[in-house]
Chain A
């Protein structure tokens, strides 16, 4: 067993998922590729959304992939960082908005 749960080379081997269940793996990759095609949103916009989400879910493989994808698309580092802040702000907001629940519960229990 490797000493770290995450191995950079695992990303290259993502396709191997299919070896143990080709039917489901193929469905996933078809779906994944369709999602990122040009649509009502441009592939460029989707790449930035993916980058933001990658940070929110803290997936190192995804951060690796979508930083590189952004560079290939000519997305600039300022745009990447703003996208990351959008994700971070939503995550912070999601934590903070629970404060209202805390306040409600506090007031309910207090005399």
Chain B
């Protein structure tokens, strides 16, 4: 079945207020489950607070060649939101005067931004140590103009992090669309050929696994071994690490949970798996997420919920680390997704 974005379907969940209402209502309103804030407090943990900023995660726009069933960005070919040149310049100005270790480029498919390559080259001129591109893999094969992306990534020592929900066709195509598995395999082989993911090599290729349904990811290391064995044996593909990421109950995944009547059970699973150890390492403590419009958020998920940073400066044009490091991180019940089990972040498990 061909999926469309919530926005183009004019679904009520395309309104972030509606999503926040669901996340604060029902089982959290009637006291069946504690809110995230209550849970953190009851566990005698310090409030979630920012530490030194290390990662600037930049969402360059929502356009994507894929429409994945679980997408928390609600991205797709029908989304036209795109970062302007002015905002890209403002980000570069921030990178020139602030010590930021990692820039993490995401979307949509970030490679589809017309100034993507120029932007990567400009970031390389700053003191940023690591440039991550979150690639959906199939973009490399989507059009001739993208076929040389592996060489471009290699030239600029880009750290490629790619989604591959499973090492077999069925589950991958069900979540990400027909034909995605075969195209992803071909793209991974092209990345290997360009030197990515080779053990002891310098070019990093990591994969992201997220469950294809209303359940939590299993042990990251065990899944990594399964992925490595299967991809090597079946397709002669190598990669560095597997990051297992929990699906957060927002946007299209929230829509799926509600439609399949799994929402309450899923929230119970997340709350039950609450791990205090993971709270200390949640990614919002060392990351700032920038939207295509240049606004600042605690994380990509808060960005999709429209929850701007709780600070006096909320736009990249007024970026100020002192103000940002003194902010309170905005929390709601989706935050349970980052603290369940071994925890979850854009870099996988955290506890």
Would you call A71 and B213 a contact (CB within 8 A)?
Answer: yes
Taking a contact as CB atoms under 8 Å apart, the answer to whether A74 and B272 are in contact is no
CB <8 Å contact, A71 and B215: yes
Question: Residues 63-85 of chain A: 1 if any B CB is under 8 Å from the residue's CB, otherwise 0?
Answer: 00000100111101000000000
**B168 CB-CB contact with A under 8 Å:** yes
- Residues of A within 8 A of B (CB-CB), count: 9
Tell me if B348 is interfacial: C-beta within 8 Å of chain A.
Answer: no
Query: What's the nearest-Cβ distance from chain A to residue B272, in Å?
Result: 7
A72 proximity list for chain B (CB < 8 A): 211, 215-218
Q: Within the complex, what minimum Cβ distance (angstroms) separates B315 from chain A? A: 40
Report the bound CA distance from A44 to B272 in whole Å. Answer: 22
- Known contacts being A12-B268, A12-B272, A71-B215, is A76 close to B222, with CB within 8 Å? no
Total contacts A-B at CB 8 Å: 23
- Residues of chain B in range 204-246 having any CB-CB distance to chain A below 8 Å: 211, 213, 215-219, 222-223, 226
* Interface residue B36 (Cβ < 8 Å from any Cβ of A): no
Q: Is B181 an interface residue (CB 8 A)?
A: no
Contacts of B216 in A (CB 8 A): 72
CB <8 Å contact, A73 and B215 = no
User: How far, in angstroms, from A71 to B214 measured CA to CA in the complex?
Assistant: 10
Roughly how many angstroms separate A71 CA and B211 CA in the complex, as a whole number? Answer: 8
Name the residue of chain A whose CB is nearest to the CB of B264: A9
Is B166 among interface residues, defined by CB-CB distance under 8 A? yes
Tell me whether A43 is interfacial, beta carbon within 8 Å. Answer: yes
Choose among B215, B222, B226 the residue that contacts A68 (Cβ–Cβ < 8 A). Answer: B215
Contact with B along A1-43 (1 / 0, CB 8 A): 0000000000010000000000000000000000000000001
CA distance A44 to B223 in the complex (A): 11
Nearest residue, chain A, Cβ from B170: A76
Kindly list chain B residues whose C-beta atoms are within 8 Å of the C-beta of A44.
Answer: 222
A6 to chain B, nearest CB (A): 16
CA A71 to CA B218, docked complex, whole Å: 8
What 1/0 mask marks residues of chain B from 95 to 119 whose CB sits below 8 Å from any chain A CB?
Answer: 0000000000000000000000000
Q: Verify B223–A74 contact, CB threshold 8 A.
A: yes
A73 touches B168 (CB 8 A): no
Which residues on the B side are within 8 Å of A12 (C-beta)?
A: 268, 272
> Is there contact, CB below 8 Å, between B213 and A74?
no
What are the 4 tightest A-B residue pairs by CB atom distance, in nearest-first order?
Answer: A72-B218, A73-B218, A71-B215, A68-B215
Beyond A44-B222, A71-B215: 20 further Cβ-contacts under 8 Å?
A12-B268, A12-B272, A43-B219, A43-B222, A68-B215, A71-B211, A71-B213, A72-B211, A72-B215, A72-B216, A72-B217, A72-B218, A73-B218, A73-B219, A73-B222, A74-B166, A74-B218, A74-B223, A74-B226, A76-B168
Task: Sample 7 A-B pairs with CB under 8 A, ordered by A number.
Answer: A44-B222, A71-B215, A72-B211, A72-B215, A73-B218, A74-B223, A74-B226
